[in-house]
Amino acid sequence: MFVATLLTAPSKPSLDPALVESLRNAWGGGDAQWLAPDEAAEFSLSQMPDNRWDVWADLQGMGVDLVIQPAEGRRKKMLLADMDSTMIQQECIDELADEAGVGERVKDITARAMNGELDFDGALTERVGLLKGLDESVIAKVLAERITLMPGGRALLATMKADGAYAALVSGGFTAFTAKVATELGFDENRANTLLVADGKLTGDVGRPILGREAKVQALKEITARLGLSHDDVMAVGDGANDLGMLGLAGAGVALHAKPSVAAECDLRINHGDLTALLYVQGYAKTEFVGI
């Protein structure tokens, strides 16, 4: 058995009941269950539809996300999340670069790295090198003035944790940012790269080993082993090429507002919903959300 979930942006809930009913009829699905009025609905399916991606593409044009997945085991026991452009709305290194006066140069490298055009480790060291000499106090300034949480993050963490799930934040970014974001949202642990500082200024380098794509996969393996969970128990979420390893290994790998080349490799793609979409695809109704 499978479950089809349709959802829209919570800021503009526009899921038409007629659309849900039409698709349910076309695919011979079970009765539609509304998880949130005008925002999210689901119905069961006995088999995976052959035209799933054609329908998905049509729905994208209407501002509707479609996720179809096996019904069994979709409520996960662990969340493994990327940070930049996933749990927060910015790329931390780009914001630091703006303060250092090298914003455009760094943003270009970031975009190419996240799209998989550049080696992550090399791209990171090149970008951090451009920050050499930046005052360490700028980190606190960026955190206070430039970093905003992705909508739905608080509800996602609070709801999954209330249901007994473990939450880990794994980032190719920096511990100075993950520590604050993890505390604010309620993650159980966080892993990231360390910006090296000497005499109150960034040295232009990061601690080794660099946490990139393979380190995120390793985090998934280590944490599940420690908790006695299987990889299938994990929902991973990210948006960049360095997230593909963990997205592929997790039982549910969600590409959230991801680069097209990244989304193309994932079965669970959210382009219109916010982080609460990760609750809807697990079958949580909005009335079950915690922390909203």
Active site members: 82, 84
Q: Give the residue carrying structure tokens 């609070």.
A: 158
CA atoms within 13 A on the CB side of 162: 12
Whole-number Å distance between alpha carbons of 119 and 20: 42
**Interacting residues of 206 by C-beta distance below 8 A, sequence separation 6+:** 124, 125, 128, 174, 193, 194, 195, 196
